[in-house]
């Protein structure tokens, strides 16, 4: 469980990691391409306390990368001066049984405005990004 791998609750770093997982709107998801090259992409996400949920287009290259190698990295932007670094490692899986973005209240609330801008609303967004990816966090580092 992610709670077991996150830094201690109540510690300054542990609180920063949890705050960023709860509040940040974009995280960088890095997969490994067929040629072995890291492939970082900014994605919208939702952390549920254990897993990170990312919705994807059917043709997203990251899905093929994950089918070949489910090990992924996640990281947030720094504070602009090289501080507030949070890097997470985990294992991703495609979860066809997960609800759509429109059926996931916390996700559709977090990204309501963005979904309107990108696709016209939660339902069209769910049709355009129908593939749910769950990432189980396994390690965290940073400063």
The pTM score is 0.94
Residue 43 in contact with residue 26, Cβ under 8 Å?
A: yes
Q: What is the pLDDT of residues 92-110, one digit of tens each?
A: 999 999 999 999 999 999 9
How deeply is 71 buried, as exposed, middle or buried, from its count of CB atoms within 10 A (0-12, 13-18, 19+)?
Answer: middle
Instruction: Tell which wins on pLDDT, 124 or 50.
Output: 124
Average pLDDT over the chain reads 96
- Each residue's pLDDT tens digit, 24-71: 999 999 999 999 999 999 999 999 999 999 999 999 999 999 999 999
pLDDT of 3 above 80 = no
**Rounded-to-integer distance, Cα 140 and Cα 74, Å:** 9
pLDDT at 89: 98
**Is residue 2 over pLDDT 60?**
no
Candidates 96, 33, 27; CA nearest to 66 is 33
Could you give the domains of the chain? 2-96+131-142 (2.30.110.10)
pLDDT band at 4 (very low <50, low <70, confident <90, very high): confident
């Amino acid at each position: 469980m992610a709670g077991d791998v996150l830094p201690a609750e109540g510690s300054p770093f542990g609180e920063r990691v949890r705050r960023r997982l709860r509040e940040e709107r974009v995280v960088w998801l890095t997969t490994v391409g067929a040629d072995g090259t890291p492939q970082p992409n900014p994605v919208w996400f939702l952390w549920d306390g254990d897993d990170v949920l990312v919705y994807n287009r059917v043709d997203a290259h990251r899905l093929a990368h994950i089918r070949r190698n489910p090990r992924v990295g996640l990281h947030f932007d720094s504070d602009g001066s090289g501080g507030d670094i949070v890097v997470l490692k985990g294992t991703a899986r495609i979860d066809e049984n997960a609800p759509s973005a429109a059926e996931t209240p916390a996700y559709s609330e977090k990204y309501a405005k963005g979904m309107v801008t990108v696709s016209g609303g939660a339902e069209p967004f769910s049709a355009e990004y129908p593939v749910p990816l769950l990432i189980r966090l396994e390690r965290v580092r940073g400063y």
